[in-house]
Chain A
Amino acid sequence: MRFGSVAGVRKPAGVMSASAIAGSRFLRLAAVAALLALPIGASVLAAGAPATHTVTIDGTRYEPATLTVNRGDTVVWINKDPFPHTVTAAPIFDSGSIAAGARWSYTARKAGDFAYICTLHPNMAGRLVVR
């Protein structure tokens, strides 16, 4: 009973300041929102938890070159080359230098169709589609 205990610490109405009134109203709204959010959260879970996808960087190429994911999914780029690469679609995402053998992950929060490149090897091109 979290919300009950919050209500329990409320001061008598007569001594409540304007901000406290606004605060308690906010708390009540938050409680309602939290209750409403519960079934929505459950349906999101039913549709599938966020997935993790992998893009391999090997031979100065992104594989797969085009990847489609859902919002909230995570994409991990693994650099298998013996030198650094970047995954850059500024200003949406930019890995900076990913060292040889290292990896970089990005959680896709923004929907869209993003063309990305390696700033070190401009002949490399990839595409991340976020639904």
Chain B
Amino acid sequence: MKSWLALLTAFSVVNGSAAFAQATGPTDPQIAHIVVTANQVDIDAGKLAETKGSTQAVKDFGKQMVTDHTGVNQQAVALATRLKVTPEDNPTSQSLKAGGVDNVKKLEGLSGAAFDKAYVDHEVAYHVQVLDAIDKALVPNAKNADLKALIVKVRPAFVGHLEHAKMLQANLARAG
């Protein structure tokens, strides 16, 4: 009996520390903010590609990113409103936003094939980064079941974007 008690105590201590570690991750209001920011960053880059892309494939992909990420954001905002969650700014959002601003600045100075390559390369890297954040920070830390479900549900679309961007990258490399 004594050893069981000791085991139970040890278990609850481990459990307690795990709960504490989770509590240091992003909160639901921060997760909602990260989702909206991540989408907005890709919308901004996509708008640029729609007009500055030098091939139809790059223009079409840019347009698709604007459409898809706008759709996801409308759903995320509607959910946050329904759940009465006010998105809260945080270091992850700020870093995503700063990266997006840098990328747009860099892309604005490019044209033709150089623009296409820089945009598509960044889209590949960006979707890898966002999928990593979804898997390691957003899904494990989301407390609200609906918020978590939304992230899990849109994840395959981001995988699709990554595969699509990789196809474009391969095509551009072949053409260049």
Contacts and interface: CB of A to CB of B under 8 A. Distances in A.
Interface residues of A, number: 15
A60 B163 contact: no
Nearest to A120: B64
Contacts of B159: 60, 121, 123
A46 B86 CA distance: 60
A58 B149 CA distance: 13
B153 A59 contact: yes
A100 B71 contact: yes
Nearest to B162: A123
B153 A122 contact: no
A4 to B, nearest CB: 60
Interface string B131-166: 000000000000000000000111011011101100
Contacts of A100: 71
Contact of A122 (B67, B72, B164): B164
Contact of B71 (A61, A83, A124): A83
Contact of A124 (B72, B153, B154, B160): B160
A84 interface: yes
Contact of A82 (B72, B163, B164, B167): B72
Interface in B22-49: none
Given A81-B71, A82-B71, A83-B72, A123 B64 contact: no
A9 to B, nearest CB: 57
Contact of B68 (A59, A83, A122, A124): A83
Contacts of B160: 60, 118, 120-124
Nearest to A82: B71
A121 B153 contact: no
Interface in A42-62: 58-61
A124 B163 CA distance: 10
A100 B68 CA distance: 9
Interface in A74-131: 81-84, 100, 118, 120-124
B75 interface: yes
Nearest to B69: A83
A83 B157 CA distance: 9
Contact of A123 (B67, B68, B72, B156): B156
B74 A123 contact: no
Interface of A: 58-61, 81-84, 100, 118, 120-124
Interface of B: 64, 67-68, 70-72, 74-75, 152-154, 156-157, 159-161, 163-164, 167
